[in-house]
Amino acid sequence: MKKRSIKIAGHSTSISLEEPFWIVLKQLADEQSMSLNALVEYIDKGREETNLSSALRLYVLSELQRRLFELTDPSGFESDLL
């Protein structure tokens, strides 16, 4: 578990995540030409009733599921499971 301090909406907050999640979040931020802080703030704004660490994990899972689905289902049909 790795704790990082991130600025969200002008204030600092500490987030604890496993290192593999930090790595993927950084890769996703880079792909979108945004900083890690900006991506975390984006995810934070969209979360509902879950803590931020969980929202970040769910975002990574959702993004990886979406990409896997694109690779394994060439028809483009979206599953109700995703």
Task: Enumerate the H helices of the chain as residue ranges.
Answer: 19-31, 36-46, 52-72
Count of CB atoms within 10 A of residue 54's CB? Answer: 12
Domains of the chain (ranges, CATH numbers): 2-72 (1.10.3990.20)
Q: At what angle do helices 36-46 and 19-31 cross, to 10 degrees?
A: 100
| Predicted TM-score of the model (pTM) | 0.82
**pLDDT at residue 38, rounded to an integer:** 95
User: Which amino acid would we find at residue 31?
Assistant: E
**pLDDT at residue 23, rounded to an integer:** 96
Please report, in tens digits, the pLDDT of each residue of the chain (82 residues total).
989 999 888 889 999 999 999 999 999 999 999 999 999 999 999 998 889 999 999 999 999 998 888 888 766 565 555 5
